[in-house]
Amino acid sequence: MNYWQNKVALVTGASSGLGLAIAEALARSGATLVIAARREQPLEAAADRLRRQGAKVLALPVDVTHQNEVERMVDQTIENFGRLDVLVNNVGRSARGAALDTTPDDFQAALELNLLATVRCTRAAVPHLLEARGHLVNIGSLASKVASRFMGAYPASKFALAAYTQQLRLELGPQGLHVLLVCPGPIARDLPGDATEASSRYADQAAGLPDSAQKPGAGVKLGALDPGKLAQQIVRACERRKIELVVPGRARLLFAIAQLSPRLGDWLVRKMT
């Protein structure tokens, strides 16, 4: 039997980009989908795209910064399909800015979306995921492991996500829950509107910073990842119950060096950005 047959996957931030690519990869593998995003029109367009590919899809407009909407999202998933096997916490946003120019309010906003939204969704979904011995997938970043210059509150929020994911893995792994942290580099944007919006946002945030700060990953010297290929890697990582997926894999060497020698790690980060 196909591993994903009869399994139900909930993907947040699934109206475009990596979230939509993950939904497509799960659908091709045979999973039933629940996709969630804040804006209804792009979400319905994504659902139509998935249905044309033969997927069974429920689209739920949700703002994951609101507890009642998160609880409703999980309740509707169970009401419609009777189970939940996979939660992909994909919602998140990058940022630009020098550390000292990043205000407490900026940090609070980043933590709200990049960490606390995941906490809300995870707490609502975990009872069902444990029952299914299913999968919890948290989308982090290379910035979850090594901070970089001029990324505002983003690295701090993603470091926090990595710590939360490890704690969940240690506490819930023995109970049968597979917990996966995904740490990708910059991801290519396949929709022109997404690229324009991101470019404009970074231009506003990066005023007074080096021009490279507006580039993907704040100028990291890595090629942009294909979201479709990354999504397939995530699906395979779930099947194998891997606990961490770092793409590109060679970034692990930088992580190890930075832990053993912070001074050398900082030098390498400067050279690579």
Flag the least confident range among 85-89, 191-195, 216-220, 256-260: 191-195
Which residues are designated catalytic? Answer: 154
pLDDT of residue 56: 97
How many C-beta atoms surround the C-beta of residue 241 within 10 A? 13
Q: What radius of gyration do the chain's Cα atoms show?
A: 18
Q: How far apart are CA 49 and CA 55, in angstroms?
A: 9
Q: Tens digits of per-residue pLDDT, 75-107?
A: 999 999 999 999 999 999 999 999 999 999 999
Of 84, 257, 255, which Cα lies nearest the Cα of 181? 255
71 and 90 Cβ atoms separated by less than 8 Å: no
Flag the least confident range among 33-42, 180-189, 207-216: 207-216
DSSP 170: H
Residue 206: is its pLDDT beyond 80? no
- What is the residue-averaged pLDDT of the chain? 93
pLDDT of residue 190: 61
The percent of residues in the chain predicted with pLDDT above 90, rounded, is: 85
DSSP 35: E
pLDDT of residue 218: 72
Q: Where are the alpha helices (DSSP H) in 1-153?
A: 17-28, 40-52, 67-81, 104-111, 117-132
pLDDT of residue 201: 64
- 6's CB contacts (< 8 A; 6+ apart) are 32
pLDDT of residue 192: 41
Q: How far apart are CA 224 and CA 196, in angstroms?
A: 16
Give the model's confidence band at 193: pLDDT under 50 very low, under 70 low, under 90 confident, else very high: very low
77 and 84 Cβ atoms separated by less than 8 Å: yes
The percent of residues in the chain predicted with pLDDT above 70, rounded, is: 94
Q: How far apart are CA 162 and CA 263, in angstroms?
A: 22
Question: Domain 8-272 falls in which CATH fold?
Answer: Rossmann fold (3.40.50)
Residue 220: is its pLDDT beyond 90? no
Q: How far apart are CA 211 and CA 199, in angstroms?
A: 12
Domain ranges of the chain: 8-272
What's the CA angle centered on 240, arms 239 and 242, to 5 degrees?
A: 115
Average pLDDT of span 170-183: 98
Helix, strand, or coil (residue 136): strand
